[in-house]
Structure 1
């Protein structure tokens, strides 16, 4: 099994409300991937509750193997939500590991 963990830091917005709305939109878009991409075994998306920390959104997915992770990463729906994220992304960090 492969665990894929991604942390996202978004750019600054005009208001905290605007940023939170975008974070919720991203969360919903990522969570919807599970119903569309069968190579996702599980998915969790969390919005940071502690504003003192660096990252805003955490994504954790599990996959049967690296091939399934690659299929997920290249799926058109994943690429579509990735484009939306990149438009407001300041920084991204990722790790993939076997467990």
Structure 2
């Protein structure tokens, strides 16, 4: 399930704040490896993401994002091999439209 929203502040229309949650239900995979057959479990988890964007003028905007705000440990893929998903990260971007 994915739920996202954004809000533009009436008293400061240049500022937009937003965020969302990706919810993943628990899952598992049966796999085999050096130790033989095993079941790898992944419990349910939320991934929370936030952003703020400021429109400086008609062409120029600055945006900051925080992904995986709660720094959840999770598997991004479950199959015969599995890998952890990305930890908390922060990014900033500047966009200019001609």
TM-score normalised according to structure 2 size: 0.30
Q: Kindly indicate whether structure 1 or structure 2 has the higher relative contact order, using CA contacts under 8 Å at least 6 residues apart.
A: 1
What TM-score comes out, normalization by structure 1 length? Answer: 0.29
Task: Pick the structure with more helix per residue.
Answer: 1
